[in-house]
Amino acid sequence: MGREEIDRRLKRVEGQIRGLQRMVEQERECEAVLTQLMAARAALDSVALMIVENHMKECLASRDPELTQQRMRRILEMIFSRYSLSEPKSELMAGATELPDMED
């Protein structure tokens, strides 16, 4: 997805957050606030995955295998830390270094 789509989705999330602020100020029911909070979080997670996907494509386009490996390791570490998962398994990290041949 392109930058325009990411920007559009981030603006939608921004609107959801503003709506949440209003709901809290108006002391709306907890269940309604939590429902909207989960929706905003899901939308933000979706944008984050789009950004990661774009970044990974950029990483895989690198002709320098060492640089690609470093970038992929950083991406995986960020993903695992964000979702409170245990550290990446060594098999997964090894798989991140095995890249397909890139043709011109």
Which CATH number is 6's domain given?
1.20.58.1000
Q: Which of 36, 8, 42 is nearest to 20 (CA)?
A: 36
For the segment 39-64, what is each residue's pLDDT rounded down to a tens digit? 999 999 899 888 888 877 776 777 78
- Domain total for the chain? 2
Does 56 map to a domain? no
Enumerate residues 6+ apart whose C-beta is below 8 A from 22.
Answer: none
Give me the domain span that covers residue 90: 62-104
pLDDT, tens only, 83-100: 665 555 554 455 544 444
Q: What is the pLDDT of residues 9-34, one digit of tens each?
A: 999 999 999 999 999 999 999 999 99
Instruction: Output b/e per residue, 56-93; b: 16+ Cβ within 10 A.
Output: beebeebeeeeebbebbeeebeeeeeeeeeeebeeeee
* Reported pTM: 0.62
Residue 57 lies in a domain: no
